[in-house]
Amino acid sequence: MAGVTKSQFDSLIDRHFQYEAEDDVDGVLSTLVDDLTHDLVGWPDGASCDKQMARALYQDFARTALAFMPGMESAEAEGFQCI
């Protein structure tokens, strides 16, 4: 991301996490480059190597993430953050 200031990058990351919190898959994808490698450590399907694979990951994540977080009953549970 040559030529991007720290402030611009921080804004991009903030938008990315906000889209995750809202389960807005298209929004999340808009914050990613086209030639991405997205590796969510421990995710059973492994790394995503393009936006279509990332789309599937985020759609699946919205449905199953809480299974990886014992004690979390819902995405709205106190203190939950998508990071």
Q: Is residue 77 part of a domain?
A: no
- pLDDT at res. 66: 54
The rounded distance, in Å, linking the Cα atoms of 30 and 66 is 24
Range of the domain at 26: 6-68
Q: Is residue 22 part of a domain?
A: yes
Q: Is residue 13 part of a domain?
A: yes
Residue 28, Cβ density class (10 Å: 0-12 exposed, 13-18 middle, ≥19 buried): buried
Number of domains present in the structure of the chain = 1
* pLDDT tens-place string over residues 37-59: 888 787 778 888 989 989 988 88
* Residue 69: closest CA among 55, 56, 83, 58: 83
Report field, pTM of the whole predicted structure over 0.95: no
- pLDDT at res. 69: 53
The rounded distance, in Å, linking the Cα atoms of 16 and 6 is 15
Write out residues in the chain with pLDDT < 50, as ranges.
72, 75-78, 80-83
